Amino acid sequence: MARRFSTFILVALVLCLFGSVTTSAFAETAEHAVKEEHGIPLKPDVLFHVGPLAVTNSMVVTWIVAAAILVCAQLATRKIKPVPTGLQNFWEWLVESLHNFLESIIGRDLVRKTFWFFATIFIFILFVNWFGLIPGVGTVGWGHRLANGTFHVDRPLLRGGNADLNMTTAMAMIFFVCWTIWAIQANGVGGFLMHIFGPKGDSKGIMKIAMVGIFFVVGLLEIVSILFRPISLSFRLYGNVYAGETILESMSTMVPALSWLIPIPFYFMELLVGLVQAMVFMLLTAVFTLLIAQHEPGHEAHH
């Protein structure tokens, strides 16, 4: 169990680092970014630079969450008890529930190889989503006072980690690399190509020749579909999280006198959305892996 937790944390830190490098490559400095008076900007704000690395407010959130997961995991596994209690009981329940859930979907053999990634991605996305709902995230920072006397934050100190397209893209690209490795391990290079381009079924004679051409074209379409998977994964997560933060922002500014009350129902909705989006990302990546790793239809059905 302790080894699993250590693996989870290492992957989470890799996600943060990769997301940081991606953000640094595409982020613009806050001084040159065009700001709207209301609403959440699409791009994260740069807080400071460490050499060529631009540190944004969304990166700070991912670092905080990764550090919090690290501390909790270390505390939970520092003194393992035969009958778990407290924090150890929570982490064991979480990991065991995820393991049993994934095993029922992709099978025992595949989950033994890939569980470290899917569990980490779920835990990391879930807590990053929920951290973005803490009061003060997106509302505390640098800004100016408007004509009506209210203070508008131009550059928040913190921003939801998954409300940054760079971060969601980094996670999707890491999955794409892992997926490629798992596919080749399961099928070999030749088997991987046959899985995509090879004819299916037991056609013979002229029909088999025709099917070879048809499935080659289908394979080209499959390649396009595979290449677009990281894009769809990243935009799905980013779009839902960003939309939720925009809704909360709109509800809090609709009636200034009731800004503390109106967003409350939407906070509960976003708690559910954060859980659902973490589950969707994990399930999609798991199913994509199952489709390429299984050797025949229904191979994992008995699980």
Cβ atoms 120, 101 nearer than 8 A:
no
CB 139 within 8 A of CB 155: no
Q: Give the pLDDT confidence of 204-247 residue by residue, as tens digits.
A: 666 667 777 788 888 899 899 999 999 999 999 999 999 999 89
Round to whole Å and give the CA distance between 231 and 175. Answer: 11
**% of the chain exceeding 70 in pLDDT:** 81
Return the number of other C-beta atoms located less than 10 Å from residue 191's C-beta. Answer: 14
Q: Per DSSP, what are the bridge partners of residue 156?
A: 141
- pLDDT score recorded for residue 208: 67
Check pLDDT > 70 for residue 8: no
pLDDT band of residue 9 (cuts 50, 70, 90) is: low
Which pair of structure tokens corresponds to residue 36?
């709207």
Average the pLDDT over 10-17 and give the result.
55
Query: Phi and psi of 42, rounded to 5°?
Result: -70, -35
Task: Tell me which of 49 and 151 has the higher pLDDT.
Answer: 49
pLDDT band at 51 (very low <50, low <70, confident <90, very high): confident
Chain-wide mean pLDDT for the chain?
82
Give the model's confidence band at 60: pLDDT under 50 very low, under 70 low, under 90 confident, else very high: very high
pTM, two decimals, is 0.83
pLDDT level of residue 139 (50, 70, 90 thresholds) = confident
The C-alpha atoms of residue 56 and residue 86 are separated, in whole angstroms, by 35
Binning pLDDT at 50, 70 and 90, where does residue 27 land?
Answer: very low
pLDDT of residue 212: 74
Cβ distance 58 to 155 under 8 Å? no
The CA–CA distances, whole Å, from 214 to 69, 208, 211, 226 equal 49, 10, 5, 18
Return the closest-CA partner of residue 290 out of 83, 56, 111, 78: 111
- The four Cα atoms 282, 286, 289, 295 give a dihedral, to 10 degrees, of 180
pLDDT of residue 69: 92
| Average confidence (pLDDT) over 156-171 | 92
Q: Please state, in angstroms and rounded to a whole number, the distance separating the CA atoms of residues 149 and 59.
A: 31
